[in-house]
Structure 1
Amino acid sequence: MTKRLILMLVACALVFGGIFAYKMVGDHFMNQFFDNMPAPTATVTATTVSTHPWREQQTTIGSFAAINETQLTTEANGIVDDIFFDNATPVKKGQRLLTLDASVDQAELRRLESVAELAQLEMRRYQRLYRDKNVSESELKRKESEAKQANAAVDSQQARIAQKSLTAPFDGIIGIRKVSLGQLIAPGSVVATLTSVNPIHLNFTLPEQQLSTLQDGQTVSATITARPEQTFTGTVTAISPVVTQSSRSVDIQATFDNPDAILRSGMFARVSLDQGEETQNVLLAPQTAIQFNPYGNAVFVIQEQDDALTVQQRFVQTGARRGDMIVIEDGLESGDRIVTSGLLKLRNGSNVKISDNPRVQPSEDLDPNVVNQ
């Protein structure tokens, strides 16, 4: 019995030992295969680092605002008698826009004019009687006062009639009317909105740290989503004397010529302010080429070895950014070729293939314009 047990244990040890040995040999050769297996070639995009003219700029966002914009309202109540403007059309200062029915007021004016005329005749008659010593001075003064009161009543009625006629307070473009012929409107009822268009203001804010670089007359550039291909130029005309405590920013206002009325009140704008002189020999690289890390920024430089392209990671010192580009202050030289996309699948010594498809090449625009689709 003991002999059989010993033989069974030896047989089990041989079987399981063979299994473990086979597993160890297989893992060894598998690991050796994967360690020696060549890395696959990664397809990337690339660009050559070069120098470009550079001007320091401060970028922000803002909104256009009309220099004059008002809701046109009536001072008196009445029925709309006539409308003299079309929707969304230019109007001139002093142009009549709307009248209310004033037939009753006109009749009252004629009555008051008759009373004033009679008061004038009475006053002149009493003046003659006073010169002939037939009336006292107090009676003459009373007639002169009555004549003045009658004239004042006429002036008051004329002003009341004028309140029933609406005129443009300044040149501009009138909006969509909100009243109709025959409509009874109350004092303060909005007739339409009048907006001046040329020139136009651009309001934006900058951090208080930029105050030392701001001055009246400074050139401002702006782009709008409605015309992404066009850049508009204006000048700084007002800098707020107060810094907002909550945001530590200062309000700036620039003025733009707008003869074609392309810029409209309320439009969103991307704003750029030039600061300083142009600087030559500044190395620029696409921001997509930079690996931004807590321990330092890096790029992958493309090198040619044995008719193959490989990459080598190199740390760089970066500077100001604008659009799609970033200034390289140290770590690269003009003419270096760097990877601009596909960085996550790379490591030192990786083989790469440069894509020739222009559609996958990242943008390298200093002033990109995003068009909403």
Structure 2
Amino acid sequence: MTDDQDKKRVRRRRTLIAAIATLAIVGGVAWFLLLAMPAFIRDMIASTPQPPITVATVTAQFKPWQTELQAIGTVVAVKGVDVGSEVAGIVEEIHFESGQAVAENAPLLRLRDYVERADLKQNMALLKDATLELERSQSLAARGNVSQATLDSAQARRDQAAAAVERTRALIAQKNIRAPFAGRLGVRLVSLGQYIAAGTPIVTLQALDPVHVNFQLPEQTLARLAVGQNVSLTVDAYPGERFAGAITSIDSKVEAATRNVLVQATLPNADERLVPGMFASVSVHVGAPAGQVTVPESAITYS
């Protein structure tokens, strides 16, 4: 029994020693990670020499400063339409290409008009016959050989024939579609041989020089706005470039829902880089430029 007790006592002693050793190791690692290492890192950072701070100097300047009102606008054409047909028909001829510049009244498209042209020939023949009959009646009436009623009937038949000719010519003209004004065409939307209904869009036509930009400003700014004020704008397509124009119209009412007033400016656009639908950031120049002390924006630090 004594030997067994001695063995148990030895095992408990070894277990206790192992536990104490484990705790010591864990405590040492924890002390190193939580206390010694952070202090070591702080000392290393503190002892590392800091790079020199680059400092640049600039002289403040007294320059004219223009007060501006900022707005968001949209570029629109002075004249712009979706060209369409007044009548239905089959596309017989196309006289333009997508993106082409056209003059006013330039032919764009012709619908099939065989029937109308045949009707025109028939009506012109009837007009010729009615005209000859009227001339004979007038000659006989001058000699008193026909009544006034007969002469009036001949005149009426001749007028009806002339009206039929004009009506047929008008139908033919409706099937020959022309540009209503000078401008630049968009993408062609129809093809040869295609049947189109009345009102079907054929191509968009935009007059691009000059162009308008429409934008809104709060009603509080209305007293500071006037026709002729200079404006400038930027568009995402040409970053960093400004386009200049002037206010040409201020709406006669304030929108009740937004309390904003609609303003329209006009800009020259000879190179046609501004196109309808573009998003524009607009600046309205208010008043005369005033002298201000200025520094570069990069010299200002916000904290």
Q: Normalising by structure 1, report the TM-score.
A: 0.64
Partners of 2:117 and 2:288 lie apart in 1 by: 68
- The sequence identity of aligned pairs, in percent, is 37
Structure 1 residues 46 and 239 mapped into 2: Cα distance closer, same or farther (>3 Å)? farther
Partners of 2:114 and 2:158 lie apart in 1 by: 25
Preserved contact between residue 87 and residue 177 of structure 1 (Cα < 8 Å):
yes
- 2:210 paired residue among 199, 207, 213: 199
- 1:231 paired residue among 242, 248, 267: 242
Partners of 1:194 and 1:144 lie apart in 2 by: 45
| Equivalent residue number for residue 50 of structure 1 | 60
C-alpha displacement at 1:284, in angstroms?
A: 5.2
Unpaired stretches in structure 1, ≥5 consecutive residues: 1-37, 287-323, 325-337, 344-373
Preserved contact between residue 243 and residue 250 of structure 1 (Cα < 8 Å):
yes
Render the CA deviation track for 1:155-199: whole Å, top value 9, x for unaligned.
000000111000000111111111110111111111111111001
| Equivalent residue number for residue 84 of structure 2 | 73
C-alpha displacement at 1:257, in angstroms?
A: 0.5
| Equivalent residue number for residue 134 of structure 1 | 145
Aligned length in residues: 255
C-alpha displacement at 1:52, in angstroms?
A: 4.5
Q: What amino acid is the match of 1:242?
A: K
| Equivalent residue number for residue 164 of structure 1 | 175
Partners of 2:225 and 2:51 lie apart in 1 by: 48
State the structure with more CA Rg: 2
1:189 equivalent in alignment to 2:200: yes
C-alpha displacement at 1:46, in angstroms?
A: 7.3
Structure 1 residues 45 and 159 mapped into 2: Cα distance closer, same or farther (>3 Å)? farther
Structure 1 residues 43 and 80 mapped into 2: Cα distance closer, same or farther (>3 Å)? farther
Q: What amino acid is the match of 2:140?
A: L
Preserved contact between residue 46 and residue 339 of structure 1 (Cα < 8 Å):
no
> Which structure features the higher share of helix residues?
2
1:272 equivalent in alignment to 2:233: no
Q: Indicate the SS of the match to 2:290.
A: strand
C-alpha displacement at 1:242, in angstroms?
A: 0.4
The residue correspondences of 1:33-48 to structure 2 (distance < 5 A) are: none
| Equivalent residue number for residue 340 of structure 1 | 301
Unpaired stretches in structure 2, ≥5 consecutive residues: 1-45
Partners of 1:98 and 1:227 lie apart in 2 by: 35
Partners of 2:279 and 2:178 lie apart in 1 by: 31
Structure 1 residues 121 and 238 mapped into 2: Cα distance closer, same or farther (>3 Å)? same
C-alpha displacement at 1:228, in angstroms?
A: 1.2
Q: Indicate the SS of the match to 1:71.
A: strand
Partners of 1:110 and 1:224 lie apart in 2 by: 56
Partners of 1:277 and 1:52 lie apart in 2 by: 16
Q: Indicate the SS of the match to 1:227.
A: coil
Q: What amino acid is the match of 1:248?
A: R
1:253 equivalent in alignment to 2:264: yes
Q: Indicate the SS of the match to 1:228.
A: coil
Preserved contact between residue 116 and residue 150 of structure 1 (Cα < 8 Å):
yes
Render the CA deviation track for 1:313-350: whole Å, top value 9, x for unaligned.
xxxxxxxxxxx8xxxxxxxxxxxxx8726x3xxxxxxx
Q: Indicate the SS of the match to 1:197.
A: strand
Partners of 1:81 and 1:161 lie apart in 2 by: 13
RMSD: 2.4
| Equivalent residue number for residue 282 of structure 1 | 293
C-alpha displacement at 1:280, in angstroms?
A: 2.2
Structure 1 residues 340 and 144 mapped into 2: Cα distance closer, same or farther (>3 Å)? same
Partners of 2:55 and 2:72 lie apart in 1 by: 32
Q: What amino acid is the match of 2:301?
A: T
| Equivalent residue number for residue 134 of structure 2 | 123
Preserved contact between residue 116 and residue 147 of structure 1 (Cα < 8 Å):
yes
Render the CA deviation track for 1:75-132: whole Å, top value 9, x for unaligned.
1221111100000111110000000111111111100100010000111111111112
* Higher RCO (C-alpha under 8 Å, 6+ residues apart): 2
Partners of 2:149 and 2:128 lie apart in 1 by: 21
Q: Normalising by structure 2, report the TM-score.
A: 0.78
Q: What amino acid is the match of 2:259?
A: R
- 1:179 paired residue among 190, 204, 208: 190
The residue correspondences of 1:205-244 to structure 2 (distance < 5 A) are: 205-244=216-255
C-alpha displacement at 1:210, in angstroms?
A: 1.1
| Equivalent residue number for residue 110 of structure 1 | 121
Partners of 1:281 and 1:134 lie apart in 2 by: 99
> Which structure features the higher share of strand residues?
1
Preserved contact between residue 64 and residue 267 of structure 1 (Cα < 8 Å):
yes
C-alpha displacement at 1:47, in angstroms?
A: 7.4
C-alpha displacement at 1:237, in angstroms?
A: 0.3
Partners of 1:90 and 1:50 lie apart in 2 by: 51
